[in-house]
Amino acid sequence: MMCRIICMGFMLLIFFTGCKGERQVTAITATKVFESKGIEVPVYDFENFEALLHIDDDKVRVINFWATWCKPCVRELPYFELINDRYTAKNVEVILVSLDLPSQVETKLIPFLEKQRIRSRVILLDDPNANQWIPKVNEEWSGAIPATIIYKGSTGNFYERSFTYHDLEKELKKVF
């Protein structure tokens, strides 16, 4: 198994947002990337992750905070996978934000992703200052998982609960 470190100055992802024809570049930089068996898991601290919560373009984003040790999280993952499969053509992006320990990415997270055949984008949020970043995600969030944000531009909703597929799809359709 291999852990590849990426320099902080290297841009892993670049998102473009527009305002009346102007283009603004927002850089999202990973601190490192774990790679094994063809699966890559970029690692972010909250400062670099936060930009994913505020992209103002025509894409709907479904951001789910979860962990492999959280039974309700694992139970609902297939529903996020279905949304990813069925709505990609409708400009929906599913991002699964793992809160697993970085020391367990290669031994637990990546094998879990492989076994469950997770195809959605998975990133690891590694920031020990949860009391500081949790209210920045949502002021009402207690920090419990699963938690999900569904947004498009400045329109969105936060959910601190589990979903059935029907409920997840219903909430997704509210932001179209």
Domain count, the chain: 1
**Whole-number pLDDT of residue 165:** 98
- Domain ranges, residue 35: 2-173
pLDDT surpasses 60 at 4 = no
**Whole-number pLDDT of residue 29:** 79
170: which residues sit within 8 A by CB, 6+ positions away? Answer: none
**Whole-number pLDDT of residue 27:** 56
Under 8 Å between Cβ of 36 and 110: yes
* CATH number where 121 lies: 3.40.30.10
Task: Check whether the bond before 146 is cis (ω within 30° of 0).
Answer: yes
pLDDT mean over 130-151: 97
Q: What are φ and ψ of residue 109, in 5° steps?
A: -65, -55
**pLDDT tens per residue, range 57-89:** 999 999 999 999 999 999 999 999 999 999 999
